[in-house]
Chains A and B, each alone.
Chain A
Amino acid sequence: MSTSDSVIRFRDVARRYVMGDQVVNALDGVDLDIYRNEYVAIIGASGSGKSTMMNIIGCLDRPTEGDYFLEGQNVSEMDEAELSRVRNREIGFVFQSFNLLPRASALKNVQQPMVYRRMRRGEREARAARALERVGMGDRMGHLPNELSGGQRQRVAISRALVGEPSILLADEPTGNLDSKTTREIMQLFDELHNEGQTIIMVTHEPDVAAHCNRVIRLEDGRVAEDRYQEKRRGTADRETVPPAAAGDDAADDAPGPEPEP
């Protein structure tokens, strides 16, 4: 793949925090390219720099040193307003705790990013409705977040992330608050989105979740310790050829009976 195809390009990116008289190197000179339609898992122990990396990729934070290019734009040199615009247009966030607006219906939640594009209400609602239908929430658009189950909330959050057709879908432990059955459903949704061409980056510490991705980046002490491509594990609903070993795993997962974990 040519470098011009890279969606994300880190060049010697460092992020340092000053805590008292100590300097913490949350990220310490990272070089990284993520290309279009990649399905990337960022893993690592806590304190390895996952969250910092995620914040920088998501334009919530800027590197202290080095350059970060997102779709060819140098984010390191942007001001607050430009960062807001980039977050709005290029990034779709999915959070562990869903982070839906508590007083807004599913439809309103999904509309919110379009508000900051100054899009008119009718158009916004039509787009939000389409995005909700895409994730299978078409019949619950009027519900408030607290009237929805965890899996349903995360579906609303995913459709909110997708509604603006962002360059990357950035997910932070998207299944961390979900049971294993719902986790499978949500991961299946991510797989489908990836198959439709969406670039997905997710931070996770669950090997099962990382197994869905085709690239795994492991961080350690603010550096990339491992960066490997892998055969992507197929979700159960994926109609493509299933490797025999993986198919066996899926069959076991699908066996009826009590869930192995709550």
Chain B
Amino acid sequence: MMFTLWESFRSAMESIRAHGFRSVLTSLGIIIGVMSVIAVVSIVQGLSQTVNAQFEGLGSNTLTIRSYTPFKKALQGQFARLTNEDMELIARRVDGISHITPVLFSQSGAQGRISFRAQESFAQVFGVGSDWMEVNGSFPETGRPLTREDDQRRRLVCLVGVDVIENLELPEDPIGEYFRVNNEWCRIIGVMEERGELFGFSQDDYVMMPYGTARRMQGASRTLDIQVQLMVENMERRDEVKARIRRLLRQEHGLKAGEADDFRIQTSEQLTESFNAIISTITAAVGGIVGVSLLVGGIGIMNIMLVSVTERTREIGILKALGATRSDILLQFLIEAVLLCLVGGLIGIALGYAVGALAATLMPGFPPAFVPTWAILLSFGFSAGVGVIFGIIPAAKAARLDPIDALRYE
């Protein structure tokens, strides 16, 4: 069996080489299919690696609590909320928390308008407690951090990301400068460390002010909804802390035994997981599209193999006269089809890698492409499978030819 396989492989190689250009055209469908899967997977996987690395920076001993409104309740207009009182309750009643901070985004989710002299721009504006820097592991590069006093006195001071300086054409050392945030004058007390880009979007385009200040700027709103970020003292006690917060908040929000939580407590790992779930979905969707293109490629292979069998009818007759059995002929043509697909797959992987790398380089802020081994193996497996499925009909046709008719064929 090995002998026959090897001989068939050799004659298939010769045949493919004899029709070099046609072979490439034949496997073009496979080449394009595999190329697109490798290109997309390499970009998505490169992204996923970078994002996971960033989430790791968040630390696994932090918890994020946010309100959660089920879709059904949202339709009824009943929005869950998390308030400053909730946070204070947690800070008071739960042991094992080293730092805790509220985070207040604008309620509409819109970006804040900022301006300096004639320059106007938009930035993410949010209010935080003085512990925010510890919890997020992100500190001012220059200037001073926000303090508890800033918060209590609701000072109009803020920390800015590096992009804000650029967008507003602020002086190189902007500390002490005043600029407008949503029509309030605000003094810059520090510039934050650069965080880089994610998905091609800047992460340094933000203005951070004391929680109290941000709350005052939003006005006395009954629908105030904050997020709470906290850091546990001891990693081992994280789940214990989480459980205690959950009990406390359920009690505080008056939830009955059967009712679902109206908040979510997430660890950074969960954030990573939900991100990875999105990545998997994208990958699967791309896989489906590529499956269709491989199908089309396979039909191309079958078409050319059928032509090739007709073209080589006489040759098949000669081989049969020389003693080739049906299975010898079948194997020869089948292996030729599989080999065509595999060569196509190989070219596709190489091109896909190149396209992925090029795309990642050309798109500003995109992480480098990464091709996982499973994608390569899967592409190879799929190519071979397509070869077998679409090669079997032409090969069977060749094997069934009557030697007399085949020898007479002109």
Which residues in A have some Cβ–Cβ distance to B below 8 Å?
A: 55, 58, 60-61, 80-81, 84-85, 87-89, 93, 95, 99-104, 112-113, 115-118, 160, 164
Interface residues of B in 316-347 (CB under 8 A from A): 317-328
A80 and B325 within 8 A (CB): yes
Identify the closest chain B residue to A166 (Cβ).
B323
On whether the beta carbons of A115 and B7 are closer than 8 Å, the reply is yes
* A87: contacting residue among B7, B15, B321, CB under 8 A: B321
Q: Which residues of A contact B317 (CB under 8 A)?
A: 99
Number of contacts between A and B (CB, 8 Å)? 60
CB–CB B318/A101 < 8 A: yes
Which residues of B sit under 8 angstroms from A160, Cβ to Cβ?
322
- CB nearest neighbor in A for B403: A60
Quick one: closest B residue to A89, CB to CB? Answer: B323
User: Which 3 A-B pairs give the minimum distances between C-beta atoms?
Assistant: A88-B323, A116-B323, A84-B325
- The interface size bin for chain B is 20 to 34
What is the CB-to-nearest-CB distance from B163 to chain A, in angstroms, rounded to a whole number? 65
CB A235 to nearest CB in B, in angstroms, measures 27
In the complex, the chain B residue whose C-beta lies closest to that of A92 is B322
Flag if A95 contacts B407 (CB, 8 Å).
yes
Q: Given the complex, which residues of A lie within 8 Å of B319, measured CB to CB?
A: 101, 112
Q: List 27 A-B contacts (CB under 8 A).
A: A58-B321, A60-B403, A80-B325, A80-B326, A84-B324, A84-B326, A84-B328, A87-B320, A87-B321, A87-B323, A88-B322, A88-B323, A93-B322, A95-B407, A100-B318, A101-B318, A102-B315, A103-B14, A104-B14, A113-B322, A113-B323, A116-B322, A116-B324, A116-B325, A116-B328, A117-B323, A118-B4
Q: Is B215 an interface residue (CB 8 A)?
A: no
Q: Which residue of B lies closest to A61 (CB)?
A: B404
| Docked complex Cα distance between A84 and B316 (Å) | 13
Q: Is A93 touching B315 in the complex (CB atoms < 8 A)?
A: no
Contact B407 A99 (CB under 8 A): yes
In the assembled complex, the Cα of A132 lies from the Cα of B337 at a distance in Å of 33
Taking a contact as CB atoms under 8 Å apart, the answer to whether A60 and B321 are in contact is yes
Give chain A residues whose Cβ lies under 8 Å from the Cβ of B322.
87-88, 93, 112-113, 116, 160
Q: Which residue on A lies nearest to B410, using beta carbons?
A: A97
Q: Out of A85, A101, A116, which one reaches B315, CB within 8 Å?
A: A101
With a 10 A CB-CB cut-off, give which of B15, B314, B321 has the most chain A CB atoms.
B321
Contact status B404-A99, CB under 8 Å: no
Q: Determine whether B257 belongs to the interface, using a CB cutoff of 8 Å to chain A.
A: no
Most B C-beta atoms less than 10 A away, residue of A101, A102, A160? A101
Q: Closest residue to B314 on the A side, CB-wise? A: A99
Judge whether B318 and A99 touch: CB under 8 Å.
yes
Q: What A residues does B404 contact at CB under 8 A? A: 55, 60-61
A residues less than 8 Å from B325 (CB atoms): 80-81, 84-85, 116
B118 at the interface (CB under 8 A from A): no
Q: When the two chains form their complex, are residues A93 and B15 in contact, meaning their CB atoms are under 8 A apart?
A: no
**Residues of B1-58 contacting chain A, CB below 8 A:** 3-4, 7, 14-15, 18
Q: How far is the CB of B405 from chain A (nearest CB, A)?
A: 10
Q: A60-B320, A81-B325 provided; 6 other pairs, C-beta below 8 A?
A: A84-B320, A84-B328, A87-B321, A95-B407, A116-B324, A118-B3
Q: A60–B3 Cα gap in the complex (Å)?
A: 25
| Interface contact A103-B15, CB-CB below 8 Å | yes
Contacts of A117 in B (CB 8 A): 323
Residue of A61, A88, A99, A115 with most partner-chain B CB within 10 A: A115
Determine which of B14, B15, B323 lies in contact with A85 in the assembled complex, contact meaning CB atoms within 8 Å: B323
A177 to chain B, nearest CB (A): 14
